[in-house]
Amino acid sequence: MSQPSPLTAEELRERAAEHGLIAGVSAPESGAEGPRFLRWIQQGRNATMRWMERDPERRFDPRRVLDDTRSLVSVASSYFLGPLPAPPDDRPRGLIARYALGDDYHGVLLDQVRAFAQSLDDDLARPYVDTGPVLEKPRAARAGLGWQGKHTNLVSREHGSFLFLGAVMTRREVEPAEPHGDHCGTCSSCLDVCPTKAIRADQPYQLDARLCISYLTIEHRGPIPRELRPLIGTWIFGCDLCLDVCPYNRFAQPVREARYEARPALLNPSLEELLAWDQATFSATLKNSPLKRTKRRGLLRNVAIALGNAGDRAAVPALIRCLNDEPEPLVRGHAAWALGQLGGGAATEALATAQDDDAFVQEEIDAARA
């Protein structure tokens, strides 16, 4: 198969823009991101995301995937939604990361990236959105799309930090971009705001996934460690704290892709109502939503924690019903914890008489009594 002809950087950017994307290029050779990634894995900071440990060199050398790769094209698309509406009342309500308020970006962005990849006239081009062996953030920084901020996310002076990322491996040769310099300066807003210290002032530019609220509420499948539960607040899927405070978001323009617009059902959702969702409601309401990744039991686990942190004892009856009737032990156990957090006569009485055949749930009941 013949080698595609070279393409100028300007031609590449124009083709990407036709598909609603920002694009830049880095050479296929690994840079500093390779050793950094290996150290991160060796330190166990990927938590239970074991797939990152499989053949890690593939993640920073695209030629191990497409051996004739000439260019790694990084693409970005903003999902900045602007100010979100305030809650309509003072009922306990959940917080959801902005990227998950609309349709699942994996499908939406992949449609755009695939169409863009086809425009490169390279039959072997490989488009990826979070699914391939590519370190998207450091690669996007090398491609001149921004820089990795102290919170480890990509930041752009023109587009802020609410950015979806993708990549295309191609045999077309394009001149690599000049990487951006770091423009975080002395700002430490993202480090200061992280409640679990997954990112820390003494270790900027490093993320410990084991402590990250986004990891805990999405990727972590089992019980959330008790010492971390109070720090999660009312986040029930992901977390935007470190992104919200980034001063470069004042330059971001509201998203134009309609499929990223927030669904009304996910804006300030009532935690008590969510706790009552059965499987049918979960599946119907969250069709094509990123929230399905947690499965029902994971989402309701998060909802129970949020109710415990919200501090409103009006939620005690809903938590008692959950403790008594919920089929998932993971949810019952966290409901017991929430009752212990809220306290009061009804919660204390329910915990005093509760017995559960599941060892994890009974352990949570006993701990909540204490």
Indicate the DSSP class of residue 24. Answer: E
Specify whether the CB–CB gap between 1 and 125 falls below 8 A. Answer: no
Burial, 342: exposed, middle or buried (Cβ in 10 Å; 0-12, 13-18, 19+)?
buried
Which of 61, 68, 111, 130 is an active site residue? Answer: 130
Specify whether the CB–CB gap between 195 and 241 falls below 8 A. Answer: yes
> HSE (CB half, 13 Å, CA atoms) of 262?
17
**What six digits make up the tokens of 268?**
């300030």
Specify whether the CB–CB gap between 161 and 242 falls below 8 A. Answer: no
**What six digits make up the tokens of 137?**
């953030």
- The answer to whether the Cα torsion of 249, 250, 251, 254 is positive or negative is positive
> HSE (CB half, 13 Å, CA atoms) of 164?
29
Task: Give per-residue burial for 279-288: e unless 16+ CB within 10 Å, then b.
Answer: eeebeebbee
- Is 130 an annotated catalytic residue? yes
Catalytic residues: 130
